[in-house]
Chains A and B, each alone.
Chain A
């Protein structure tokens, strides 16, 4: 039992000092790790939550604080939030201690047209519904239009390969003397997801089982070449929209929410397109945010009302238009979207409908070890690419760490790895 005892103290302190303490009977507190920036939170409060009977208070928090608070409230036996919104991976560690199954809510929403595959993700590997899909996003590439002139001959941004991307970056280095490709490899950047959802699936067709395969070795060697034309400041980049807007980077890969600003502010300067394809296909990872009801929620009826409202097709469309997250239900995007959002939507659509698209799901069943799972890939990157250690040796060593982690959590394989009996094996 490694759960810190101090969580209880934090909960008490939170109850004493926190703004959430005055939960009234009629109030529904909606606690979210998503849509945190003030502009987005205001849109949620003033547009997206309008029309729900009763008072809904929208409160946001950083993901680590969210995790601590959820656990602390469970330990203290005093729940403040009635409905929570967070990413799939952020909700995972709270099953079964902090969340209640919501099969009844799922049953009410059958007419929404949420795809069965998404609803299944909401079970978080259990037999019951743990969250209702809320909105989705993915990762795309964004390029400054100035970079387009350096595209290799015959390359089309919408069906780029990793080889062409490398050549593109190299052309730019040759012509401008600057490494203008960018990756979010900073401390809070999402590079681990690049490895799990893009690089590994594209080069090896798997994520865990193929970790040290010959394909993986070839992939890492290709990545080293890609790094040679990538801006060395990438290890400081967390949100690619900043170096893109500063002109420091011309071509970037990142989560749509982290490049949105660039496209929204200068829609004429940037283009958005799908991530490149490797030998095994065009790996991509959908990101799902879900709505869940914590155990002992003070106002369950209010929570259900919030979930029902947010999954209505018209609210889903408004969400896309206002904050740039895309619907989980069947709904046609309106043609009058802002140009930046439209470009994002186009890239997401091109990704999902690419002929060689290879879906890589979010890790399932790792529980609180999700961070250490990311660490395996980031350590491998650090050793192979940044420290130039021999690829084969590093993969052997890190495969042992990965294998131990999978055995410890007993997590079965998820797509694109083939389903496994028991823990997902590293082959």
Chain B
């Protein structure tokens, strides 16, 4: 019996370890190596090229700005939505299903859907024109309208990726025993107090997972931005793509990839530290 159990766990995780090793660790090491190799031997040339590029500063700024705006908004929205959904009796499944539809849509398709809404010949333009609010087709997605373009990207990202936070938070909410809230209610705690003193602290592990997931993905944002603004709104992953595909310089593209990874790792470790939950605080 014990002889059998000793190897079973290893055998069960072996496929994933092999999978990760072959398709994740190896390319990762190769990418890092590629980013440090330019000409003869290891060097920082690729990083220098990346940092001195015309769009680098803008891409860093845009990516951070987008993450700082989108992620908190998504968490707030998802918290609200999750609290409402858990309060629902009848039709809860239907509402949840509708709210998570965007999860099933690829990010490029989501970007294209928003493009169809917001472009010059899009539905929003047609609607505003029909209402007599604009004189003719108005552009919001060009490099001459950076603010409008930014809001368009934020809107599309909110629509597309809030659901993933919602799903994680709903799962977290369901783990919180009802007794805590009931006890607090008996002692006269108002709904807001119950939310801030009971729900939020007990939801911390779920919030942590949701934040890590969303922040890492936000730093990698690409398809939605690409569909809506092309290169009018440079972001880090987009620049990596351009260096790889258009400029055919794999070294600089790899540098961007490594930079995105470093930022993501840093963000993750901050979350792990700041939102640490000791075992006794778990529900």
A residues near B, CB below 8 A?
1-2, 4-6, 64, 67, 93, 177-178, 186-188, 231-236, 246-248, 368-372, 374-375, 379, 382-383, 386
Verify A232–B246 contact, CB threshold 8 A: no
Verify B141–A236 contact, CB threshold 8 A: yes
Verify B229–A236 contact, CB threshold 8 A: yes
Verify B141–A64 contact, CB threshold 8 A: no
Closest 9 CB pairs of A and B: A232-B142, A371-B248, A371-B247, A232-B144, A187-B230, A236-B230, A186-B230, A233-B142, A246-B121
Verify A178–B27 contact, CB threshold 8 A: no
Verify B231–A235 contact, CB threshold 8 A: yes
Q: Which residue of A lies closest to B251 (CB)?
A: A2
A379 in contact with B230 given A235-B143, A370-B248, A372-B248 (CB within 8 Å): no
Verify A178–B136 contact, CB threshold 8 A: yes
Verify B137–A178 contact, CB threshold 8 A: yes
| Stretch in B11-19, B30-38, B86-94, B102-110 touching the partner | B30-38
Q: How far is the CB of A252 from chain B (nearest CB, A)?
A: 15
Cα separation A1 to B121 with both chains bound (whole Å): 48
* B112-148 contacts to A (CB < 8 Å): 119-121, 135-137, 139, 141-145
Interface string of B37-64 (1 = CB under 8 A from A): 1100000000000000010000000000
B246's partner among A187, A233, A236 (CB-CB below 8 A) is A187
Question: How would you classify the secondary structure of chain A's contact residues: helix, strand, loop or mixed?
Answer: helix
- Is B245 positioned at the interface, with any CB of A under 8 Å from its CB? yes
Verify B246–A375 contact, CB threshold 8 A: yes
Cα separation A93 to B247 with both chains bound (whole Å): 13
Question: 10 interchain pairs (CB within 8 A)?
Answer: A6-B27, A178-B137, A187-B242, A234-B142, A235-B142, A371-B248, A372-B248, A382-B54, A383-B54, A386-B143
- Is B226 positioned at the interface, with any CB of A under 8 Å from its CB? yes
Verify A2–B137 contact, CB threshold 8 A: no
- Is B268 positioned at the interface, with any CB of A under 8 Å from its CB? no
- Is B232 positioned at the interface, with any CB of A under 8 Å from its CB? yes
Verify B27–A187 contact, CB threshold 8 A: no
A368's partner among B54, B144, B248 (CB-CB below 8 A) is B248
B-side contacts of A67, CB under 8 Å:
248
Given contact pairs A1-B37, A186-B230, A379-B54, enumerate 13 new A-B contacts (beta carbons under 8 Å): A2-B34, A4-B250, A5-B30, A6-B27, A6-B30, A64-B245, A67-B248, A187-B231, A232-B142, A233-B141, A371-B247, A374-B247, A383-B54
